Structures are given as C-alpha cells and as structure tokens.
Amino acid sequence: MAERIELYAGTAGHSVWFSNDLGEHFIHPNSHSGLYLEARTWCFSSHSKSPNELLAGTDMGIFVWKESTTRWSLIDSPMTDVWAITQDPDDPDIIYAGARPAKMFRSMNAGKTWEHLYIEGLADFSDINMGPTRFTQILFDPIDQGAIWATVEIGGIFQSTDHGNTWQAKINGLESIDVHGIWITQKSSDEKIIYATTNRGLHRSLNNGESWDFVLLNSPWQYTRGITGQVNDPSIIWLCNGNGPPGDTGKLLKSIDYGYTWQEVTLLTALNSTPWCIATHRSNPDLILICSNLGQVFKSQDQGLHWKKLPHEFGELRALHWRTTNYEDNRPAHSITIRPLPKI
C-alpha cells in the first residue's frame, strides 16, 4: 500500500471535484459516480481510522465516497440538506450532522441509524434569515474531553459537555448570532482561548464561552468566515475576512500570537470574493489550502510563507478538504474517469 494526498472541492451546484496532484488539475466524477452532478456540497469529513472513506454533506443528504469502489453512496438518514458534519476523534462510526433547517443528528453506527439531538435554545429564525437557519460547523473540543461546539447561522453558538446528549447556548456578548465558524486553542494549561466568526466580526472567549468579546480587525471589513489553526503550532491561527457574502474582495489573515494581533497574508493574486474555507491536516503541517467563495483556490506548501493560485477556478465553492488515502500501487487514480460509461 502507498499513500496519496487527495484534495476535494465542494461546490454550490456542481457536486464534488477531485485532485490527486495538489490541485494542479481537478476532475469531475461522471454521472454514474453515485452523486448528482449538480448537487450542492456544503461540507466534508474524513477520519484517520477510515483512510479510504470520505463523507460529504449535500443538499441531498450525506454521501460516502469509498476508494475501494470509487463511487458515492447515499447514507439513509432523516436529513435532506446537511451543512455541517464531523466524526468522533476516537471512532469514525460516530457521526454528528447538522442540517437545514437547523437540527442536529447523531449516528453511533456509521449512519445505519440516527437520533435527533434536542438543543435547548435553538429556534427557527426564518423571518430574519429569509429562509431556514442552518448549522455551519460542529467541532470537538481538543482540550476538554467529551465537549462539542456547534455554530448556527442564524442561531448562535451551542456547547455540549456530554458527547452531544445535552446542549447549552453560549451567546452572551456576541455582536451577532449569525455565526459561521469556531476555533479553540490553548496558550497555557490554564488559558483556553475560543474564537467565533460572525457576519459582524470576530469574537474571543477566555472563559469557555460564558461570555464573548468583540475583536476589532485592522481591516475595512469585519465580516469573517472560516477560521482554523496551524496544526503544529497552537499560537498560529488563520482567518478568512472579506466584504460580505460572496463579496468581491477579501483578506487571508494570520496571527502568530494566539489571535491577539493579525496580519494580512500576501497571496500575490487578488481575491475575487471573500475567502471562505481553510484546509489543513495533521499529516502534513506544511500544506495549507484556502478558497474564495467565488471559486479561487490558493495553495501553500511551506506553512503559508509562499502561495500559489491554482489554475482551475470554480463557480462557487463552499467546502475544501484534503487528506491522505491508501491505494494499491497498480490501481489507476480515480478510475471512475477512465471506465467506459454503460450503454443506455
């Protein structure tokens, strides 16, 4: 067996695209791959203990990609529009999924059965959002075992301390409950720092979400989207900042002091819209990818010192993900693209 890096781009209307050469070329699985070619793909999840499988949340439910079959398969669930998905760090069969309208479900057996997790304080803000509200991220707390955080657009921030059985709203001090993402880091054994991104700006909590403080960015816009940390250095955080959804410009910001100060990252090519996602993976701290909402993808292979804009531009991107997979040395990569189509 050998390892290969696989990059996935989730689009709003053109399904999932694949690259196995770090984004220099992307391919689009054909119509017999199992996933509708015009599906909207909102999120991905993969797990080191299931290196040959990928989960995708779409407007048609949850699909699983298997390298053994090079096909997508729909996982039967009560959800038809899945915006956030994650797996338990210790067990890939335990799946948490957030839907639109905003409801959360959990499966303990790789999607064979599901249970609805009641979240106190989660209301339907359709009159504000001009449509059903939705989950934007589900994050396992890397510091407090058993704790999970969930963000909702428009709905706020929720925390569970018992693996998702019960939840509490954590919105005190937020400028907006239109929450896009969350990240947790630790400066010292007694200094846990949590960041949340919203349509009105970045927020910081130093007391485990009991209250939030607004963080003013040195930027003409305060709108923030994706946020994540450098996998080998907890002091480094990456932040997406732009002039709205989708916007027509933006900045990738970097902090090297746990989010207390921020600097703009030079990308060489101007962003065509708000940067939306940041993709990192613990298997390779050097490789970082970001995308703009309107289809640009940028790559760094030296922990963000230098960046390259990738050749392919998409219509609209909502998710970006990469991982390492195992494969047989003599098996062609993504063989779905070279198998002849069945006769119709």
21 burial via Cβ count (<10 Å: 0-12, 13-18, 19+): exposed
Q: Which is more confident, 255 or 29?
A: 255
216-244 pLDDT tens trace: 999 999 999 999 999 999 999 999 999 99
Q: What is the mean pLDDT of residues 235-257?
A: 98
pLDDT score for 14:
95
What integer pLDDT is reported at residue 316 of this predicted model? Answer: 97
pLDDT one-digit tens code per residue, 296-332: 999 999 999 999 999 999 999 999 999 988 754 333 2
* Residues 299-313: b if buried by 16+ CB within 10 A, e if exposed: bbeebbeebbbbebe
CB contact at 8 A, 291 and 273: no
What is the average per-residue pLDDT within 178-188?
Answer: 96
Q: Is the pLDDT of residue 135 over 80?
A: yes
pLDDT of residue 73 exceeding 60, the answer is yes
| CA angle, 257 then 262 then 263, to 5° | 120
Burial class, 288, CB count within 10 angstroms (exposed 0-12 / middle 13-18 / buried 19+): buried
Distance of CA 279 to the CA centre of its chain: 8
* pLDDT averaged over every residue in the chain: 91
On the question of pLDDT at 344 being above 50, the answer is no
CA 314 to chain centre: 17
If we measure between CA atoms, which residue out of 53, 13, 5, 17 comes closest to residue 320? 17
pLDDT of residue 1: 55
Q: Which residues of 52-91 are buried (b: 16+ CB within 10 A; e: fewer)?
A: bbbbbbbbbbbbbbebeebbbeebebebebbbbbbbbeee
Tell the residue number behind the tokens 């994650």, with chain if given. Answer: 86
List, in order, residues 6 or more apart from 192 with CB less than 8 Å away: 143, 144, 184, 185, 186, 206, 208
Q: What is the mean pLDDT of residues 276-284?
A: 95
Give CA–CA dist 125/123, Å, rounded.
6
Return d(Cα 160, Cα 242) in angstroms, integer: 30
Peptide bond into 132 cis (omega under 30): no
Q: How large is the average pLDDT for residues 91-106?
A: 97
Q: Is the pLDDT of residue 342 over 60?
A: no
pLDDT > 70 in the chain, percent: 92
Contact in structure between 325 and 52 (CB atoms under 8 Å)? yes
Task: Evaluate whether 20 touches 34 at the Cβ level (below 8 Å).
Answer: no
